[in-house]
């Protein structure tokens, strides 16, 4: 493990150059960019974010651009990967390209940086960064973009694998009893859509390079949210751990010149009356499932704002026969913070979960992939701030969707009231983590360590 030696001469330090290498997927790109926003404007720090040409264009053209100052710059490598817009169609092929085709062009870009990078902050999924940094004598810091609970569950998975205690396939449904006080997921919760169980084993093991080779680990979480998981992680992981979460774009909320039209639509709705619906940008649900959800939303009579790239749904007058509006993209955190929004139908990606916590908005959970099922268990069973759209033995129908949505959005329902009260308490906890002495203090501790290398 490369070491960074502390020094008392911080005032005499030169500017420290951080190279940030995100995994090229929305759920990983967003927390890395939000980390860079937190670093932006700090004394004695410059950051170069390395992305593909496609991601450079995406980040520059979106309604919510990077909003970076002069000491954070974006640099790009050629498009050596399948497009971001289609990676969900064959995720195994996309991952293989990430693991085999990015290293060389990223290395060339690193070698050409002037001034040279002093430290690399890389997504924890990028195994090849280890050799890349070792060849250049650069310390590497890993960014974990999922929950602490999932990290500890995967650590337990690895221990079961090493002990030869894993089942032959997903049908074993062996529980991962990784935390005594948290709802226990099963191995099938982590299924990636692959029938070959070895794919999951291989995938999980790629996460673990940072345990022995990284200088430190940054996490998009905070103690008050996942204290049991963090206690376990600290007891077993020997490297320094910095919880700087939630890594969400809260710093961008005050600064926007004009609001999109859908905010006028939200302004016209009563307080807590609108259900916001977004199921992520990575893995699209089937057309038949979307049809059932949209029909159920329309049948519920509840006003809803749905994010969908489906051109058939994005009509100026909304969904026919409903009180809903469909948009291809929206400023999610700002929408969740709007007074008229009273619920969030979500896939339970970690970033979306954190944004809902920050906004104090309860969730209807409809997990689709990988860590989303364990995240949904936290939302529904551990924190008590959400309900499931459907149970495992239920078929997704428009009637079921309408029934679940109507009850969830009923502000007079006693269970709903309790859920909303708990959401407000979780919001307070989340905001406290962002105040002085919370996650911001952890970020300063991380910066103190890496800038010492430049002294």
The model's pLDDT over 135-148, given as tens digits with 9 standing for 90+, comes to 999 999 999 999 99
Encode pLDDT of 365-381 as tens digits.
999 887 898 899 899 99
Q: Can you give the pLDDT at residue 154?
A: 79
- Whole-model pTM: value is 0.89
pLDDT at residue 187 above 80? no
pLDDT at residue 125 above 80? yes
Distance CA 431, CA 439 (A): 10
Distance CA 263, CA 253 (A): 14
Preceding peptide of 121 cis, ω within 30°: no
Query: Contact 304/274 with Cβ under 8 angstroms?
Result: yes
Q: Which of 80-84, 287-291, 389-393 is predicted least confidently?
A: 80-84
Q: Can you give the pLDDT at residue 9?
A: 43
Q: Can you give the pLDDT at residue 139?
A: 95
Q: Can you give the pLDDT at residue 119?
A: 96
Encode pLDDT of 397-428 as tens digits.
999 999 999 999 999 999 999 999 999 999 99
For residue 389, give both structure tokens.
Answer: 């759209």
Reported confidence tier of residue 179, pLDDT bands at 50, 70, 90: low
Q: What is the DSSP string of 20-31?
A: EE--SSHHHHHH
Q: Which of 18-22, 257-261, 432-436 has the highest mean pLDDT?
A: 18-22
* Dihedral, CA of residue 242, residue 248, residue 252 and residue 253, to nearest 10: -130
Mean pLDDT value of segment 80-91: 73
Distance CA 154, CA 160 (A): 10
Q: Identify which of 383, 329, 396, 323 has the alpha carbon closest to the alpha carbon of residue 356.
A: 383
Q: Which of 47-61, 223-237, 314-328 is predicted least confidently?
A: 314-328
Identify which has the larger pLDDT, 437 or 388. Answer: 388
Encode pLDDT of 298-346 as tens digits.
999 999 999 987 656 655 555 655 689 999 889 999 999 999 999 999 9
Strand partners, 186: 175
**DSSP label at 362?**
-
What residues contact 35, with CB distance under 8 A and at least 6 apart?
20, 121, 143, 218, 244, 247
Encode pLDDT of 347-363 as tens digits.
999 999 999 999 999 99
Q: Can you give the pLDDT at residue 10?
A: 45
Q: What is the DSSP string of 107-142?
A: HHHHHH-SSPPSEEEEETT-TTHHHHHHHTT--EEE
Reported confidence tier of residue 167, pLDDT bands at 50, 70, 90: low
If one counts every other C-beta atom within 10 angstroms of the C-beta of residue 238, the result is 9
Handedness of CA 323, 393, 186, 282 (dihedral sign): negative
The rounded percent of the chain whose pLDDT value lies above 90 is 54
Which secondary-structure segment (H or E) carries 276? strand 274-278
Q: Can you give the pLDDT at residue 73?
A: 92
Q: Can you give the pLDDT at residue 5?
A: 47
Cα–Cα–Cα angle for 39, 40, 43, rounded to 5 degrees: 80
Cα–Cα–Cα angle for 430, 153, 190, rounded to 5 degrees: 100
For residue 392, give both structure tokens.
Answer: 């495992």
pLDDT at residue 158 above 60? yes
Strand partners, 216: 141
Q: Can you give the pLDDT at residue 75?
A: 96
Identify which has the larger pLDDT, 191 or 343. Answer: 343
pLDDT at residue 99 above 80? yes
Residue that has been written with the tokens 């502390």 in this structure: 6
How far separated are the first and last CA of the chain, in Å rounded? 20
Mean pLDDT value of segment 244-258: 82
Query: Contact 243/354 with Cβ under 8 angstroms?
Result: no
**Residue 169 buriedness (CB in 10 A; 0-12 / 13-18 / 19+):** middle
Q: Which of 114-118, 258-262, 299-303 is predicted least confidently?
A: 258-262
Residue ranges per structural domain of the chain: 10-163+194-251+433-454, 260-432
3-state secondary structure of 446: helix
Distance CA 87, CA 265 (A): 32
Mean pLDDT value of segment 209-223: 89
Read off φ and ψ for residue 440, nearest 5 degrees: -60, -35
3-state secondary structure of 48: strand
The rounded percent of the chain whose pLDDT value lies above 70 is 79
Mean pLDDT value of segment 260-278: 96
Query: Contact 337/360 with Cβ under 8 angstroms?
Result: no
Q: Can you give the pLDDT at residue 148?
A: 92
Encode pLDDT of 59-76 as tens digits.
886 544 556 667 899 999
Same fold, 10-163+194-251+433-454 and 260-432: yes
Q: CATH classification of 10-163+194-251+433-454, choosing from 3.40.50.2000, 3.20.20.70, 3.40.630.30, 1.10.10.10?
A: 3.40.50.2000
Mean pLDDT value of segment 288-305: 94
Q: Where are the beta strands (DSSP E) in 145-185?
A: none
Fold of the CATH domain 260-432 = Rossmann fold (3.40.50)
**What's the whole-number average pLDDT of the chain?**
85
Distance CA 363, CA 86 (A): 27
């Amino acid at each position: 493990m490369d070491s960074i030696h502390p020094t008392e001469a911080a005032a005499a330090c030169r500017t420290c150059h951080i190279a940030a290498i995100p995994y090229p997927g929305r759920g990983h790109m967003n927390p890395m960019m939000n980390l860079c926003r937190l670093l932006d404007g700090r004394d004695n720090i410059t950051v170069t974010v390395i992305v593909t040409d496609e991601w450079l264009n995406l980040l520059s053209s979106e309604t919510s651009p990077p909003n970076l100052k002069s000491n954070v710059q974006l640099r790009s490598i050629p498009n050596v990967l399948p497009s971001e817009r289609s990676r969900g169609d064959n995720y195994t092929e996309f991952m293989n390209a990430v693991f085999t085709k990015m290293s060389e062009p990223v290395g060339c870009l690193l070698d050409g940086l002037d001034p040279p990078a002093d430290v690399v902050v890389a997504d924890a999924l990028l195994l090849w960064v280890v050799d890349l940094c070792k060849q250049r004598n650069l310390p590497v810091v890993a960014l974990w973009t999922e929950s602490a609970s999932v990290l500890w569950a995967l650590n337990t998975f690895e221990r079961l694998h090493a002990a030869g205690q894993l089942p032959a396939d997903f049908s074993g449904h062996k529980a991962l009893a990784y935390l005594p006080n948290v709802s226990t997921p099963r191995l099938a919760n982590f299924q990636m859509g692959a029938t070959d169980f070895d794919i999951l084993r291989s995938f999980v093991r790629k996460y673990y390079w940072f345990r022995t080779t990284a200088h430190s680990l940054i996490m998009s979480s905070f103690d008050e949210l996942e204290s049991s998981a963090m206690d376990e992680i600290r007891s077993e992981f020997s490297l320094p751990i910095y919880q700087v979460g939630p890594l969400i774009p809260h710093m961008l909320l005050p600064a926007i010149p004009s609001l999109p039209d859908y905010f006028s639509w939200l302004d016209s709705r009563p307080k807590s009356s609108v259900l916001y619906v977004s199921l992520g940008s990575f893995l699209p649900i089937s057309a038949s499932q979307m049809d059932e959800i949209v029909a159920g939303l329309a049948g519920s009579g509840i006003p809803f704002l749905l994010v969908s790239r489906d051109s058939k749904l994005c009509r100026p007058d909304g969904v026919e026969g409903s009180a809903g509006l469909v948009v291809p993209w929206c400023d999610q955190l700002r929408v969740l913070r709007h007074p008229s929004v009273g619920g969030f139908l979500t896939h339970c990606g970690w970033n979306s979960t954190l944004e809902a916590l920050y906004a104090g908005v309860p969730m209807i959970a409809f997990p689709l992939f990988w860590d989303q099922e364990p995240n949904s268990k936290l939302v529904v069973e551990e924190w008590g701030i959400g309900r499931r759209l459907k149970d495992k033995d239920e078929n997704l129908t428009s009637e079921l969707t309408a029934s679940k949505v109507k009850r969830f959005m009923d502000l007079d329902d006693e269970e709903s009231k309790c859920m909303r009260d708990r959401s407000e308490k979780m919001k307070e906890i989340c905001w406290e983590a962002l105040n002085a002495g919370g996650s911001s203090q952890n970020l300063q501790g991380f910066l103190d360590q890496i800038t010492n290398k430049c002294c």
